[in-house]
Amino acid sequence: MCGLEQPTSGRVLIKGEPPNPRVQKFGVIFQEESLLPWRDVKKNVEFGQELVDRKLSEELTAKYISMVGLSGFENYYPHQISGGMKKRVAIARALAVEPDIIMMDEPFADLDAQTRWILQKELLAIWQKLHKTVIFITHNVEEAVFLGQYVAILTKRPASLKSLIEINLPYPRDRLSPPFISFREKIIDVLRLEIPSI
């Protein structure tokens, strides 16, 4: 979707054009944080800008570090911070390239439930502040309903689009509300057709 690989079939268009990292700016957050262990938090956040031959101003670096709640940890190295804090660094690094679109590939999958919930809420707060397009991949149905405006459900391999469900609930969302549970069950019903064992 961000033009790093060519599709074997079909196409992706962004405002009518194929994705091109030289034209559109993408921020990518992987399952693993991929932080550079020899760089502190501040230098890891600046890394994406360095790849495009730019350097973040001190003010912008501080802005993104603050936005993810890491003010005071700028000089800490990855081995000195928790898993949740590493995710925050990865988010700040993606934001620091000032992307048009943010791609997130199961970024919270390996976190405990409490940290995951906190980061979901923080991600929504950042999204509401910056109004960026976020494409978020998850295998967690509740996470999809909590975060998403549209949930695209794929078939088993070879994957194709099975269903696109609009989640027309206002934010913030209550995980225990009947409408939330109804959307969760609707998605599970679609998945059940694909994987009969669930």
What's the CATH number where 122 sits? 3.40.50.300
Closest CA to 1 of 128, 134, 93: 134
Residue ranges in the chain modelled with pLDDT below 50? none
pLDDT of 53 reads: 63
Does residue 37 belong to any structural domain of this protein?
yes
Instruction: Output the six-digit token pair for 162.
Output: 């099975």
> What phi and psi values does residue 178 have, to the nearest 5 degrees?
-55, -40
| Cβ-contact 46, 55 below 8 angstroms | yes
In a domain, 85, yes or no: yes
The answer as to whether 180 is a domain residue is no
pLDDT tens digits for range 18-60 = 888 777 888 889 888 889 999 999 999 998 778 766 777 788 8
Please name every residue paired with 103 in a beta bridge, in sequence order, or none if there are none: 28, 135
Is 115 within the bounds of a domain? yes
Range of the domain at 129: 26-137
* Phi, psi at 174, each rounded to 5°: -95, 115
Separation CA 161–CA 153 (nearest Å): 6
**197 within a domain of the structure (yes/no):** no
Residue 92 counted as domain residue? yes
pLDDT at 107: 92
| pLDDT value of position 4 | 78
Q: From CA 191, how far away is CA 196, in angstroms rounded?
A: 8
Q: Is position 177 within any domain? A: no
Domain count along the chain: 1
155 within domain boundaries: no
- In DSSP terms, 133 is beta-bridged to 101
Give the pairing of strands 26-29 and 133-137: unpaired
pTM of this structure = 0.88
Give the per-residue pLDDT at 3: 79
